[in-house]
Amino acid sequence: MLSATVIRRLEALETISKQGKPINGVFRLLENPILWHEAYANIYANTGAMTPGVDEVTLDGFSEERVTSIITRLKSGTYRFQPVRRTYVPKKNGKKRPLGISSGDDKLVQEVVRIILERIYEPIFDNHSHGFRAGRSPHTALEQIDRQWQAVKWFVDMDLRDYFNTIPHDLLITLLSKKIEDKRFLRLIQAMLDAGYVEDWRYHATYSGVPQGSICAPILANVLLHELDTFMSATKRRFDQGKKRKENPLYRHYSYQIRSLRGKWDSLKGKEEAKHELQRIQQEIRRIDQLRKQIPSGDPFDGGYKRLFYCRYADDFCLGIIGSRADAEQVRQEVRQFIEHNLRLTIAEEKSHICHSKKGVTFVGYELRTYSADRVIKLKRGTRHTWVKSLSEAIQLHIPQDKMQKFCTQRGYGDYVTGKATHKPQWMNLTDAEIILAYNGEFGGLANYYALATGVKKTLHKLEWVWQTSLLKTLANKHKTSVNKIVKRLKTQDGLKLAVKREQETRYTKVFRLKDLRKPAPHDSQLDVQQNGYVWTLSFSEVMKRLNKKQCEYCETTEGPFEVHHVRKLKDVAKGKAFWQRMMAARRRKTLVLCRNCHHQLHAGTLPDKESLKKRVNGEPCASKGARTVLRAGDG
């Protein structure tokens, strides 16, 4: 178990970081094996756990001996990071993003380093930073904008060009050294950055950037851009002026006239001879009030009232400004100069611009713009009733106009403009449940992401029609029948559902519908607060409990050492005929704790089957040692 001393040192990282004191002795934390168990428990279920690096090593075969070997090499200074294997993934704009795939051992080291860096930097990261942080997401960034950016006049949208590949290594290490004085730990991070990459079987050295796909890349990227967050906080304090916007002189003039007329109306009220005069006064009050509603109550040109708002998600950030266009341009130039000179990064000009708030700007896939409603509501103030605007210069979140058509075309649902849907022939070999789940995943993911948008159901209604028709046509083509018959088969009182009958129960796969979409609840601010006390995943990790049991789950021997066998997906073993494959499928696990003998035989294809295990139980010789394994469906 983790010693109380080490626990206190880990918990103290947050306190020391908040106090601004330098942190030392970090490398010694790497020497404790339980930290590596925590790292493995965090990443073993990732989709990339079985993706090999240049040395073909994955997380398969994790064991106590493997951890001890890595720690020994780190302490002696003989551990060497393998260059990452570079591959490319498509971007939305048609271009490709480079992705670095690390070796299995390197992934473990990176995760341990990430855990420590997160404890040091998460407490001091700015509240306006939302990318790659626990409890934060694009939705939290948008909620912050929706809550705080009221009555902005200008948006300044800025993006960094090729950020992850251009981070200066020397500058990053310099910034890390301001908080961390442990030179061995800093040299480890430097070695990680300088490992290079292999592309088309050729090695390339790296002098800048962090590999996208690296476990440490997000937090290292945030460490550098934390300097931008700090700069923007200082700029905001310098830019903001005034406590309240001055009242619009013309608005004040109309209000004075209305008060005067109402006073006159009160003095004549109840007098029979003043009936016509009272009607005239009421008509005049309505006329002036209509003129007053056409103008803002505050002075939009008040030079003594300015506000600067800032929000960042990863390398994409946006500014909101209450002030003049010249103020927006000045702030933009100051930010550009800081980024280019202090951070040595480059602004992507084609993605950076200033625009009026009513025109709007795109940020994290949403369109932000201000809106003033024509509708008025009746309020009682004192003894009188008055009418006021229901909405004035409020921030609204919208789905970009071209998003639906692009999504429909990219996913192959059909023609969005005409509303004519087509089936997906590439999904014809899937089961009915798999087809529905695949369609649900695509459209449901889009709808849930844009759940914060104004009028999201109305905006996505047409796309839902094309999407659902495409789904029904795919099922109809698969079964050589009509769409109407598919609808009749799936229709229930609660929408379209597919019933899959099994031996003991009937499971239902429901077709997603916008009617069931709910706006996310307001973000809980406590999610972003680090809790007191270090909570270790190890205490709850099912795979680590199984490994610590020190018993082979196949042959049940207690003679170690023990290793964890991985498969990439459960479908890889779902139709397997080998006993170990049926074990993993029945238990719904992608991992299997084996003794080293069984693990080596599994990879060699010589692991004995169930019949051999029965013979061994009866005293007959068998290649694997131990007792009989009981297969229990749903175990785990």
DSSP codes, 140-173: HHHHHHHHH-TT--EEEEEEBTTHHHH-BHHHHH
- Claim to verify: residue 44 and residue 189 sit in the same structural domain: yes
Give the residue from 336, 127, 329, 311 showing the smallest Cα distance to 239: 329
Q: Is the peptide bond before 211 cis (omega within 30 degrees of 0)?
A: no
> Would 636 be classed as within a structural domain?
no
Name residue, tokens 């904008």.
145
Amino acid at 448: N
Instruction: Write down which residue in 538, 566, 581 finishes a domain.
Output: 538
- Claim to verify: residue 20 and residue 78 sit in the same structural domain: yes
How many C-beta atoms lie closer than 10 Å to residue 373's C-beta?
11
How many C-beta atoms lie closer than 10 Å to residue 550's C-beta?
15
* H runs (alpha helix) in 424-528: 432-449, 456-478, 483-490
- Claim to verify: residue 534 and residue 546 sit in the same structural domain: no
* pLDDT (0 to 100) of residue 629: 40
- Claim to verify: residue 33 and residue 94 sit in the same structural domain: yes
* pLDDT (0 to 100) of residue 625: 41
Give the residue from 382, 324, 388 showing the smallest Cα distance to 357: 324
Q: What is the pLDDT of residues 393-417, one digit of tens each?
A: 789 999 998 999 999 999 999 999 9
For residue 134, give the CATH number of its domain. 3.30.70.270
- Claim to verify: residue 150 and residue 194 sit in the same structural domain: no
> Would 624 be classed as within a structural domain?
no
Classify strands 96-101 and 84-90 as parallel, antiparallel or unpaired. Answer: antiparallel
The count of C-alpha atoms lying within 13 angstroms of the C-alpha of 303, restricted to the half-sphere facing its C-beta, is 3
- Claim to verify: residue 308 and residue 350 sit in the same structural domain: yes
Across the beta sheet with 366-371, the strand order is 361-363, 366-371, 394-398
What element of type H or E holds 421?
Answer: strand 420-421
**Contact, 407 vs 452, CB < 8 A?**
no
- Claim to verify: residue 432 and residue 485 sit in the same structural domain: yes
Token pair in block for residue 588: 């719904």
* pLDDT (0 to 100) of residue 627: 38
Instruction: Write down which residue in 503, 518, 538 finishes a domain.
Output: 538
How many C-beta atoms lie closer than 10 Å to residue 433's C-beta?
13
DSSP 340: I
How many independent structural domains does the chain possess?
A: 5
* pLDDT (0 to 100) of residue 5: 64
Q: What is the pLDDT of residues 188-217, one digit of tens each?
A: 999 999 988 888 888 888 878 887 778 999
- Claim to verify: residue 277 and residue 414 sit in the same structural domain: no
> Would 626 be classed as within a structural domain?
no
- Claim to verify: residue 196 and residue 275 sit in the same structural domain: no
SS3 state of residue 25: coil
> Would 617 be classed as within a structural domain?
no
- Claim to verify: residue 58 and residue 154 sit in the same structural domain: no
End-to-end C-alpha distance for the chain, whole angstroms: 24
Instruction: Write down which residue in 294, 317, 352 finishes a domain.
Output: 294
Cα-Cα-Cα-Cα dihedral sign, residues 160, 161, 165, 168: negative
Q: At what angle do helices 64-76 and 33-43 cross, to 10 degrees?
A: 120
> Would 634 be classed as within a structural domain?
no
* H runs (alpha helix) in 180-306: 183-193, 217-239, 249-268, 275-293
* pLDDT (0 to 100) of residue 527: 39
- Claim to verify: residue 328 and residue 407 sit in the same structural domain: no
- Claim to verify: residue 98 and residue 235 sit in the same structural domain: no
Sites in the chain below the pLDDT cut of 50: 1-2, 524-540, 617-618, 621-636
* pLDDT (0 to 100) of residue 575: 76
* pLDDT (0 to 100) of residue 322: 92
> Would 391 be classed as within a structural domain?
yes
> Would 316 be classed as within a structural domain?
yes
> Would 619 be classed as within a structural domain?
no
Full domain range(s) for residue 54: 4-123+168-208
